[in-house]
Amino acid sequence: MFEKDNCYNWLLKKELSFLRILVINGPNINMLGIREKHIYGAMNYENMCKHIKEKSSELSVEVEIVQSNIEGEIINFIQGAYDKYDGIVINPGAYTHYSIAIYDALMSIDIPKVEVHISNIHKREEFRHKSVTAAACVGQICGFGIYGYVMGINALFEEFHKNNK
């Protein structure tokens, strides 16, 4: 009987540690490795996605990664995450600075979100300093390259386990 209880507790903990996170990439992120390598690095989009999935699997986190250059599609990804994912990591790209529609979509679903940026938006042009979407997120990570995505997933992992003890 004692062994069954331990097995049940292990399975319960294992189930609680399994998270589903949606990573949403906005405009031009698909051009990584081609565009402005001095800002975004030389790794291409496909390899970045592989890296994110490898690092996520180390935490037993299932990740789906999507990308669009179209604002409405990004909103559809956000809305589609409701009741399907435990969290969102989003890099809205240039929409960060002016998309109230993406902000509203992020606010409309009650799951934790983390905004990430490959570059440090605060060290770049003045217009990039303001994020209208970050206020709809648990936090914002920028300036750490593609590792920012891993940091965002780690943050959601910690947030989930903090709230589900």
* Residue positions annotated with a catalytic role: 40, 117
141 within 8 A of 109, measured Cβ to Cβ: no
For 36, 56, 63, 111, 147, the CA distances from 53, given in Å and listed in that order, are 24, 5, 6, 20, 12
Spell out the residues 6+ positions from residue 118 whose beta carbon is closer than 8 angstroms to its own.
32, 39, 40, 41, 91, 142, 144, 145, 146, 148
